[in-house]
Amino acid sequence: MELLGLLILAPAVLVHVWSFALFLFRGRGTPLPFAPPTQFVTQGPYRYSRNPMALSVICGAAGLSLYLRSPLGLVVSAGLALTLHLWVTRIEEPGLVRRFGEPYVGYCRRVPRWLPGTPAIAVVVSLLLSPLPGCQSASRDESYAPGLGEIMSLTQMRHLKLWFAGRADNWALAAYETDELEEGFSDVVRFHPTHEGSPTPLSRLVPEFTAGPIEALRSAIEHRDPVEFTAAYDSLTRGCNGCHRAAAFSFNVVERPSANPYSNQRFQPPR
């Protein structure tokens, strides 16, 4: 028991001193609230845990209690862990997010709050204890879903570029724009399977209105055939408008572009 206590206590003290030194010299400040560091530290133990100092205090207390064979000490250590957890999640992290912004949120994404592979029980406990936003929750909504309007604006641009690529016999560019259009359509299915106002789910409308035209475009591009391309292009445009009508968006009509606003891109095939 004493040995186990020492095995926990010794590294805890070491980590504590190391973290403290980094705070002083790299962070140019102290852990004390009235003289905080001017930059957040990410080296040394901070590479593996965002809170090595608090962690080492908890482990130090637990190690000492084991060494002294003190059940009361263990209870106090558990109370200490709970208190520090609450302090870190509710006060410290929101404050750091406010002070350092995006770089700190990025650091939260890379480095765990306590330890890599924090045991499941700790995760459960922290979920129960921290309904308030710490920085973990700031990083949770990092996955960004494009809006349907944004996807459609890109689709509109691809639609236009596809036309000028095909007119210029730039089949490689036309193939690329076709791929991008298809990717946009699968993003519609993925991010917006349904749409308010549309009686039919978009996940059904997309294949119905785009699969045939995309296939016809691929074939025309493969044959490098301008006549076939024009017919396939018009069928795509009809598909766009068919879907807009089916989605109760019939006032939005697209057509063959008449002029190219992208004067900074060459549509002729490179020689």
- Which spans of this chain sit near ligand HEC (rule: CB under 6 A)? 148-149, 152-153, 155-156, 159, 181, 188, 195, 198, 202, 205-206, 209-210, 236, 239-240, 243-244, 247, 249, 252, 254
Q: Pick from 231, 270, 271, 261: which is nearest to 164 by CA?
A: 261
Q: Given the complex with ligand HEC, which of 26 and 195 has the nearer CB atom?
A: 195
Buried b (16+ CB within 10 A) or exposed e, 236-267: bbebbbbbbebbeeeeeebeebeeeeeeeeeb
CB of 225 to ligand HEC, least distance (A): 20
The answer to whether the beta carbons of residues 224 and 171 sit under 8 Å apart is yes
- Closer Cβ to ligand HEC, 92 or 177, answer by number: 177
Of the pair 174, 243, the CB lying nearest ligand HEC is at 243
CB of 266 to ligand HEC, least distance (A): 22
Question: Whose Cβ is closer to ligand HEC: residue 85's or residue 158's?
Answer: 158
Q: What is the CA radius of gyration of the chain?
A: 30
CB of 241 to ligand HEC, least distance (A): 8
Smaller CB distance to ligand HEC: residue 19 or 237? 237
Residue pair 64/73 in contact by the 8 Å Cβ criterion: yes
Residues, the chain: 271
235 closest CA partner among 250, 215, 252: 215
Nearest approach in angstroms of CB 135 to ligand HEC is: 32
Considering the complex, what minimum distance in angstroms separates the CB of residue 267 from ligand HEC? 18
How many CB atoms within 10 Å of residue 99? 11
